Amino acid sequence: MTTDLHLQHLVSEAVQACFSAEVAPADIQIQQTRKEFEGDRTIVVFPLTRVSKLAPPATAEALGAHLVEHAPVVVAFQVVKGFLNLTLATSHWLTEVNKALGDERFGLQPAGSKPQVLVEYSSPNTNKPLHLGHLRNNFLGYAVSRILEANGHPVVKAQIINDRGIHICKSMVAWQHFANGETPASSGLKGDKLVGKYYVLFDQEHRRQTEERKAAGIPEDEAKNDAPILVEAREMLKAWEAGDAEVMALWKTMNEWVYEGFGATYAEMGVSFDQLYYESETYLLGKSVVEEGLERGVFFKKENGSVWIDLTEDGLDEKLLLRADGTSVYMTQDIGTAIQRFRDFPDLDRQVYTVGNEQEYHFKVLFLILKKLGFEQAARNFHLSYGMVELPDGKMKSREGRVVDADDLLEEMASTAAEMAQERGRIEELSKAEREELFKRVGYGALKYFLLKVSPVKGMQFDPEASIDFLGNTGPFIQFNFVRALSMLRRAGSDLEGNWSVDPGTSIDKEEVLLIQKAIELPAVIAECAASYDPSHLANYCYDLTKSYSSWYNNHPVLNEENEAIRTTRLALSALCARNLRTGMGLLGIDMPDRM
């Protein structure tokens, strides 16, 4: 039973004893006591005056006196207007330390104890490499997956690969025109970079042809829309949809190049997937579902033959599902993908879509359509919407000059970590392989933490230099203090997995009580993150815990403490904080180094 839950029951019993009235424990409001007042927990008394029939201060006074007399855990109280501040016995907090250290899965709920959830993230197009936006998307989706698992949900980590459409054909047409048979093997380029190169070349050639046609007197729209290379791409798309053997062979080859490139980038990111879906497959199911829905009256057909759904009574709009020529739109594909997932995982309770905030309306429509098609789980589906991430002007320009390439940014972060480590001069004893691993853990950890510490709903600016600072709210600050705790435990002849046990009667001060209180918040923070799909709460918890630990460490000798009970307690506190940081940062997908 948690501290707050225990207090809720004690206060409920006190209300019964003092006022002969019943108030459910869940209705007792408890808060962390504000720093300017004495106490550990604050009871909000105002709602209890309806049963006490007394003024708030008198109600608080009666309850406080009863608790001090009858509840050993409460050793003092203070009344501040309508609030009752309770000071708990230090033995209680040390007992909580023993409980936490004795639980190998502290903070984690039993596996499979809650409904199954599918989390979709990444979902790239196969016409170009992954970029900075994909980094935030992947880190966010992967962290939410890990947090949901920690909270007891079986999780399916999935992505839908957008492997069809005009944008894919553009890369293919450009390759046919300009590649002279170039492949990843012949060029030394990663497959996704090679295909992206031809997507850029298509755009350049399209612009050239458009300007040439405009110079010949053709109106701009016509010059652009009927440029020969774009017409060729449209024809290729028609051939693809018709199953043309030559086009299909090239499509498969170039997509395989991209998949291999994506795989290498995902490995560097430290993310993975349980299930892959392909738009080239799911759009067909979407079309058949729409046609069935048309027969059932869920959808309607306009005079030109296009199929729509009318959502105006639901406060939305009419939405196109099939064009007049029978071809599908993105919504069609998303309907097919969602339904295929419900079929693949019969126990699936909901789907979480990690997609930028520009698609918020799209997902409102999708979830409502699925509900009207009879999928009651759709009401629990969630769009994990996130804002755009940008870099300061003049920093980290990509090779193509348009977007920030994910591989380039990862490489830059590891390089920056290497420079900082060499300046600090503490890596001489490490082998080359150990150094490279350390640089990646610090550099990638800095990147992940910086992108995850901001609430997903907010847009943000990522500053590579600020993210890797060893001071402030950064990943390296947390990693450094974790390593410092680990090093101290090693010097004491122990580690994080030691069989720790502290004497509840040991003397501890207020700063140590506050550190313990912060440390044992981990289960509640994980639960909050799982409920809100927001990893930033966990990221900032790790920072707050680290900041408290760092301050405590500087004020409290550990290895040089002569009193054995106090020394053991302080080592145990270091172990608990370090274990929590390893758990919390691990759920964010951040590896913690053994040394720095």
Domains of the chain: 3-88 (3.30.1360.70), 163-273 (no CATH), 406-587 (1.10.730.10)
Q: What is the mean pLDDT of residues 54-81?
A: 96
The whole-angstrom separation of Cα 56 and Cα 322 is 64
3-state secondary structure of 272: coil
- Percentage of the chain exceeding pLDDT 70: 98
The whole-angstrom separation of Cα 375 and Cα 98 is 46
Q: What is the mean pLDDT of residues 39-48?
A: 96
The whole-angstrom separation of Cα 318 and Cα 306 is 12
Q: What is the mean pLDDT of residues 265-276?
A: 97
Per-residue confidence band for 476, with pLDDT thresholds at 50, 70 and 90: very high
Cα–Cα separations (whole angstroms), residue 379 to 119, 352, 490? 15, 12, 51
pLDDT by residue (tens digit) across 557-583?
Answer: 999 999 999 999 999 999 999 999 999
Both tokens assigned to 50: 């309806």
580 and 549 Cβ atoms separated by less than 8 Å? no
pLDDT value for 402: 58
pLDDT by residue (tens digit) across 327-371?
Answer: 888 999 999 999 999 999 999 999 999 999 999 999 999 999 999
Best CA proximity match to 257, nearest among 451, 126, 420, 97? 126
45 and 81 Cβ atoms separated by less than 8 Å? no
pLDDT by residue (tens digit) across 115-134?
Answer: 999 999 999 999 999 999 99
Q: DSSP letters along 45-60, please?
A: -GGGHHHH-S-HHHHH
Secondary structure letter of residue 181 according to DSSP:
T
pTM over 0.85: yes
pLDDT value for 596: 81
pLDDT value for 399: 37
Using alpha carbons only, what angle is made at residue 543 by residues 540 and 547, rounded to the nearest 5 degrees? 140
pLDDT value for 1: 67
Q: DSSP letters along 429-469, please?
A: TS-HHHHHHHHHHHHHHHHHHHHHSS-TTS-EE--HHHHT-
580 and 488 Cβ atoms separated by less than 8 Å? no
Compute the Cα dihedral for 543, 548, 550, 553 and give only its sign.
negative
Is residue 394 predicted with pLDDT exceeding 60? Answer: no
* Per-state percent for the chain, helix, strand, coil, to nearest 5: 60, 10, 30
The whole-angstrom separation of Cα 19 and Cα 10 is 14
pLDDT value for 400: 42
Phi, psi of 156 (to 5 degrees): -105, 115
